Amino acid sequence: MASNSVDNISQFEQHSSTFLVVGGGIAGVTCAETLAIYHPEESITLITESTVIKTIANLEPVARYVYKFDVKERSLKDKCQASLAPTIVTIVDRLKNIEALDHCVTTENGRRIYYKSICLCTGAAPNLVLGNNPRVIGIRDTDSVLALQEFLKHAKKVTLLGNGGIASELAYELHGIEVHWVVKDNHIASTFVDPGAAHFFQESVRLKRSEHSKADKEKTQSTSIVKRLRYKEIQLEELCKESSKVHGAALGPDWHRNFTLTGNALSTTDLPIIHYKSYIKEIIKENEKMVVTLTNDERIECDFLISATGVEPRHNYSCSIPLSMASDGGIAVNDMMETNVLDIYAAGDVCTAMWEHGDHWFQMRLWTQARQMGCMAGRSMGAKLTNEVIYQDFCFELFGHVTQLFGYPVVLLGRYNGQGLGTDYELLIRSTAGKEYIKFVLQNGRLRGAILIGNTELAETCENLILNKIDLTPYGDDILNPDIDIEDYFD
Ligand code: FAD
């Protein structure tokens, strides 16, 4: 059944709701859905700036506590598509101010909405390098990818800045354009992987590319169009109609498959030219071109620059009682997703987890955690209403993230890059070019984290080994011996 749509309540100047959720990204939608499951008798309002919301589909366990899922865009204009729980009322509007003592918000379009508790899920915005330069673009939401497509139409050369997931995907997804990839580290994709895994990816991509004939390349292009149809839930025209001032939810996994990302250069190697350990020193305009000078004084003459250098939590509204902020600019929340202000909660990219973290968990602004936090906030708001005591979800005991990088399935578990372990750990690695890369992070003989690339089928075993703190010392290096099935060993 469709939820109450925008139109039903557009004439309301004043509205009241037990629960108010702000933001139609994964965190906000999950929070509202969780509230609807636990409290179907209560009113729930979801305010969001864009008519496109994000929902989760095809949730599939990869291990006991780690899931993979698809992120679908849904239009609130299409009642069948939106398909939120029937008790959720949606309003397309922008939160402007929170009157914390009165338990009331005002919106950009002059609505006043009263609440018993509110959850802020307003996401994050790209942290743009030289954001006031019209030739610098950041990738965050569908609108920004449409802007990228426009730039690509006339471009032959681009500079790509950043070394996280977005830059790593773009570096190999852009075709028909010379890509100069500027990374601050001595290896690519440093947010997610170590130099060994980066080498594995580069070799694999190189092998695949060299195997492709020209005809294969054409086939690849048509394959991506098939994928594009599968993923294109919302007509691009509809997205274009939305005001450029409106920020949609952050893109989800596989976002680049929805779009053709081809430049205007006739022949390129299609492999990025990587500038390691470099930063941008200066950008100037020279005859219709952009000239980027790097810290090693190298000059790149290009048509535009893509800045993919992380995000900043987005709280573009005021609150009558100042909300406490963490040092990274996120709204500080405790283990129940509560802020310092009574009955105001926050979840997803906008917040910073200030509770004492478990041994195997840390915060990263990812859709996995947006979903987990949205769910936790919903449970917590509901429990407060009924004076129930609840505990934090078990998912916060173990960092787990499932993604795709360079076409390979990737599972990251625990302190997969030795995060927070200083130098007091050792690594065990097994790598087969083009097939798999497995890295175990061991501390005092115990598994503290793992990177699993390829179809390793080891996620659940690793999850158990990490959570149960099993001493692996007796097994020595055999733990990654390809002739030993460690799944059988520990089941
Ligand atoms: P968002 O999805 O940003 O949603 C925020 C919502 O709040 C939006 O609907 C917005 O319209 C609304 N809003 C903002 N301000 C207001 C206001 N004042 N009033 C009303 N509404 C408002 N993560 C992964 O795990 N894997 C990936 O592969 C991955 N790839 C990514 C690729 C790209 C290009 C980007 C940009 C991000 C990627 N991420 C990825 C990160 C992931 O998308 C985010 O961590 C996640 O979507 C955050 O969800 P959220 O609900 O907190 O915020």
Q: So what's the pLDDT on residue 80?
A: 65
Residue 82: CB within 6 Å of ligand 1?
no
Q: Is 166 in the pocket of ligand 1 (CB under 6 A)?
A: yes
Give residue 10's pLDDT: 54
**Residues ≥6 apart with Cβ < 8 Å to 360:** 397, 398, 399, 413, 414, 415, 448, 449, 466, 467
Cα(124) to ligand 1 centroid in Å equals: 6
In which residue are the tokens 């004939």 written?
213
Single pTM value for the model? 0.84
Cα separation values, 290 from 98, 105, 155, 282, 350, Å = 43, 44, 11, 10, 33
440 lines ligand 1 (CB under 6 A): no
User: Is there an atom of ligand 1 within 6 Å of 95 CB?
Assistant: yes
Give 10-residue mean pLDDT values along the chain (491 residues).
48 83 97 97 95 90 90 80 83 97 96 97 85 81 82 91 85 88 87 82 77 51 29 40 56 65 70 90 88 93 90 94 97 98 98 96 94 98 97 96 88 93 88 89 94 93 94 84 73 60
Structure tokens, 341: 């202000």
Atom of ligand 1 nearest to the CA of 139: 34
Give one DSSP letter per residue of 84-101, joined into a string.
--TTEEEEE--EEEEETT
Q: Which amino acid is at 490?
A: F
Distance in angstroms (rounded) separating the CA atoms of residues 171 and 259: 15
What is the Cα–Cα distance from 479 to 491, expressed in whole angstroms?
A: 14
In angstroms, the CA 454 to CA 51 distance is 37
